[in-house]
Chains A and B, each alone.
Chain A
Amino acid sequence: MSLERSLYEAMLRMRMVEETIAAIYPDREIRSPTHLYIGQEGVAAGVCAALGRQDVVAANYRSHGWYLAKGGSLRAMVDELFGRATGCSGGWGGSMHLIDVDAGVMGTSAIVGGGMSHAVGSALADRILGRAQVSVAVFGDGAVEEGPWHECLNFASLKRLPVVFVCENNLWAAFSPLKDRQPPVEIHERMKAYGIPSELVDGNDALAVHRAAAVAADRARRGHGPSLIECSTYRWLEHCGPNDDVAQGFRPAEELEGWKARCPILRMRSLVTDEEDRSIRAAVMREIEDALAHARRAPWPEPSWKPAYYEV
């Protein structure tokens, strides 16, 4: 299969899964804080296409896309969202806490910046154990403001660890715009201070993301140390939940419209045939229906605790 087609398919799959999640969220079958990735699919698709199954990704609470792109099981993810025992985290984590160890998806943290050091630690382990694998740290522009972010860059650069830092700069942290949180110096430009090679790419161009990620992963595998890729992109829906916060007046409508015109999926549409598009959609829809049906039948988890002694 061509790279173009597989990137298109990966993004469309993420999109269709999340559109389904957003559509059924009001039914209250999914009851956990859910941060949708719609609009940002080019980043996960592009980066993961440059990785092998044995490479690992440490992401955050907005990870449906990363989990799927890295090869996580859709059934186990949907089961997790439904709080079922068969969920990827046994129902204990919910949407913010996904994991698929076999697919190289490290457990995701809902503490901003929390996963950054896990990727560096994973790279340290590969170094010590002599494995030529790549660890990817995924974070938003907000995480850049947390202290450990800086400490991780320093550490990874010092030890020349095989890490790829991927910043998803979507211009907003919840309801706070980037310009109110950071001085106007582009994130990738700050890497000079850490001695880390960096690149700014259009995060809505999955092919460009893939090119940059392939270079960075290769650098890591050769033992030449960490890299940072800043991907400019935009989240279409509200920070947390299935709604449109632009319609509610929280973000400028023109900004969203501009980014929607640059939809990462639309952008690659001409690279697949109508027939391919139709067959991808049909297959993904079958997969989603299967996952939903599976989740609705799946068993609930049992408590790990016993009733207190005074209750029995």
Chain B
Amino acid sequence: MKFREAVRAATVEVMRKDARVFVLGIGVPDVKGIFGTTVGLADEFGADRAFDIPLSESAVTGICVGATFRGLRPIFVHQRIDFTMLTMDQIVNHAAKWRAMFHGAHPVPLVIRAIVGRGWGNGPQHTQSHHGTFAHIPGLKVVVPATPHDAKGLLIAAVEDDDPVIYIEHRWLHEEDGEVPDGYYEVPIGKAAVVRAGNDVTVAAVGPYVGEALKAAGALAGEGVSAEVLDLRTLRPLDSETLLASVRRTGRLVVADADWGPCGVSAELLAVTAEHAFGALKAPPVRVTWPDSPVPSSQALEPGFYPGARQIHAAVRYTLSRGASAGLAGSSTKPFEGPF
């Protein structure tokens, strides 16, 4: 099943199980159905439970928060995570605060599904990741699935969760195929997965960089380097236990994050490692992140903006003091073709 079909399958599961769940967002019931992830929901569940909204992201976020106070469990979908920047007041000042500020009287079981664009010159305002922005805020949970299996299980877990969950999908994972179990299952929020075991270096990856890290690990195996690859899956709360256990064993860390570096999740992983596993480190950790710049639109710049397996491979060799190798070609990610 494709990643985007898994997102839809999870939505159908939670809506069948729980009449309090509803889905809303710009384009939810339209012909394209948010890249196919919401297609047919209005037919099965009715226009009260899957509906379009005015272009009012900010107010509608607060409306969702209000609806949670009266027992509902909204899933608010955004075609681009960039549009959630209009909603930060209700997410950060309200949803994230309510549980603590009212001492548990009103948890906010709200799911924000936000899609990250990439490719076809989408440019600075349609390509941001922002998982680090959200992961900075206590009171929120932040998940970034990397596989169709986790896309389904994490979305179900997000809806089951009583706190606001920011569920982030990378547009270019939408077409990825993978095994997806039938029926209702949860992938626990707050648990990373070891997706490839290894002894020489830990590569901790976020979302689309899990696949890139696995490609790099495959090439490294041929060079006699055994890399362990972690799929972080949840960025808040961070599974530092799994991270630290791995780094204590390998003594080396490369973080591959689909976001900017400064003050981001990659910085947090290095901080946690420095604080709790400093003695285990055999070399300085390395971060593979986006360049510290908005994403350019030009076809001459955009592909080179995103690091991929080649950079992860180079970073691992660097931590092992092996120097660069000509071995690995650029990312083989299938580029997204326009117009949107």
Contacts and interface: CB of A to CB of B under 8 A. Distances in A.
B310 to A, nearest CB: 8
B32 interface: yes
A31 B335 CA distance: 12
Contacts of A173: 26, 55
Interface string A152-175: 000000000000000000000111
Given A175-B31, A181-B55, A32 B307 contact: no
A192 B136 CA distance: 43
A239 B305 CA distance: 28
B26 A176 contact: yes
Given A240-B340, A310-B318, A110 B86 contact: no
A181 B121 contact: no
Nearest to B123: A94
Contacts of B300: 83-84, 91, 300-301
A33 interface: yes
B339 A143 contact: no
Contacts of A242: 339
Interface string B311-335: 1001100100000100000000000
A112 B296 contact: no
Contacts of A97: 123-125, 297
B123 A310 contact: no
A113 interface: yes
Contacts, number: 150
B298 A91 contact: yes
A32 B120 contact: yes
Contact of B32 (A114, A147, A175): A175
Interface string A7-43: 0000000000000000001000001111000000000
Given A92-B124, A300-B300, A33 B338 contact: yes
B172 interface: no
B311 to A, nearest CB: 6
A250 interface: yes
Given A34-B339, A311-B311, A180 B298 contact: no
Contacts of B125: 96-97, 109-111, 114
Contacts of B324: 311-312
- Tier of interface size on chain A: 35 or more
A33 B55 contact: no
Interface in B286-305: 286, 288, 291-294, 296-301, 304-305
Given A31-B121, A94-B123, A311-B324, A111 B82 contact: yes
Given A112-B55, A182-B54, A32 B26 contact: no
A32 B120 CA distance: 5
A102 B173 CA distance: 42
A174 B339 contact: no
A310 B26 contact: no
B186 interface: no
A173 B56 CA distance: 12
A181 B53 CA distance: 7
Contact of B298 (A83, A112, A113, A305): A83
25 contacts: A31-B121, A31-B299, A33-B122, A33-B126, A83-B298, A83-B301, A92-B124, A97-B297, A110-B126, A111-B86, A114-B125, A145-B56, A147-B56, A147-B59, A175-B27, A182-B54, A239-B340, A240-B339, A240-B340, A300-B301, A301-B301, A308-B314, A310-B314, A311-B314, A311-B324
Interface of B: 26-27, 30-32, 52-59, 82-83, 85-86, 120-126, 286, 288, 291-294, 296-301, 304-305, 307, 311, 314-315, 318, 324, 338-340
